[in-house]
Amino acid sequence: MHFKKAVPNSITTLNLLCGTLAIILAFKGLQLWSVYLILAAAVFDFFDGFAARILKAYSPMGKELDSLADLVSFGLAPTILVYYRFQDYTSQFSTGNMESAWISVLTLIPVLITLASALRLAKFNVDTRQSENFIGVPTPANALLIVMFLHYTTFNPQFDYLYENLWFFPLLSVILSYLLICNIPMFSVKFKNMGWKGNEIRYLFLIFTILILPIVIITNATWSLWLLLVFSLYIITNIFSFIFSTLKSK
């Protein structure tokens, strides 16, 4: 029994390891490696839950460990990457005047992503409504949206104009932070059974996800565009579904 519980916890620890290394490498200026490590952390985050379900090895410790790992890998690590990307542009304004001080404050707004991630994870642990689906954007989805955007724009300089707007990253950070802690229902992509009934939206999302891949390959686009579109679609679909259901109920 103890061995069974150790398996998912060990995988969760690998998630935490990847997130910690991502932060260290970000400090060293190796942001691309940080992106790859956060992506690896997301893979481990998926498989620890998968292993827990297969082995029936759920435990309170595993749940808490998973949240702690997610906060590091999907809260703090992407925050640091956004901060450094934003700072690369704002550093040219370091003149010591009041305008420079205001810009320095703007560069700290991405910290909201870490704070909102912590609130989101704490809420998930005590919210019984989230046993099957989510309320608010899951931290891994939020983090992957961020790092795939950073990766894609790194290799596609035509989007550099976004960074030249001082309000882009602060506004993006505020929006994503709100989506983490909002009360918008988000469907889980985890299948509890393989039947169509009850999994309709999951299957449709999976089909659309698969259809996007060959388009990205044929157009010779950077591979991160695929995941960027997938996670953007996930969030947008849930937002519009919430708006539609709200209007329908009135």
Hey, where are the domains in the chain? Answer: 2-249
Residue 88 is predicted with a pLDDT of 81
Q: Is a pLDDT exceeding 80 seen at residue 66?
A: yes
Model confidence at 131, pLDDT cuts 50, 70, 90, reads low
* In the predicted structure, residue 3 carries a pLDDT above the cut 70: no
Within a 13 Å sphere around the CA of 123, how many CA atoms are in the beta-carbon half?
18
Model pLDDT, residue 36:
97
> Within 10 Å of residue 138's Cβ, how many Cβ atoms?
24
Beta bridge partners of 135: 185
Q: Which of 144, 145, 229, 130 is nearest to 186 (CA)?
A: 130
| CA–CA dist 198, 209 (Å, integer) | 19
Give the confidence band of 246 by pLDDT, cuts at 50, 70, 90: confident
**pLDDT at res. 8:** 84
Please state the rounded mean pLDDT for residues 215-222: 91
Nearest to 67 by CA among 133, 139, 2, 153: 139
Q: Which of 16-25, 48-57, 165-174, 183-192 has the highest mean pLDDT?
A: 16-25
Question: What is the predicted pLDDT for the residue at 109?
Answer: 94
pLDDT at 172: 95
Return the minimum-mean-pLDDT range out of 1-5, 213-217, 229-233: 1-5
DSSP string for 112-145:
HHHHHHHHHHHHHHH-GGGSSSEES--HHHHHHH
Q: Residue 215 to residues 107, 205, 211, 220: CA-CA distances in angstroms?
A: 36, 16, 7, 8
Tokens 């297969």 found at: 54
Model pLDDT, residue 182: 93
Q: What is the pTM of this model?
A: 0.90
Mean of pLDDT values over 4-17: 87
Mean pLDDT of 31-51: 91
What is 2-249's CATH number, 1.10.3470, 1.10.490, 1.20.120, 1.10.155?
Answer: 1.20.120
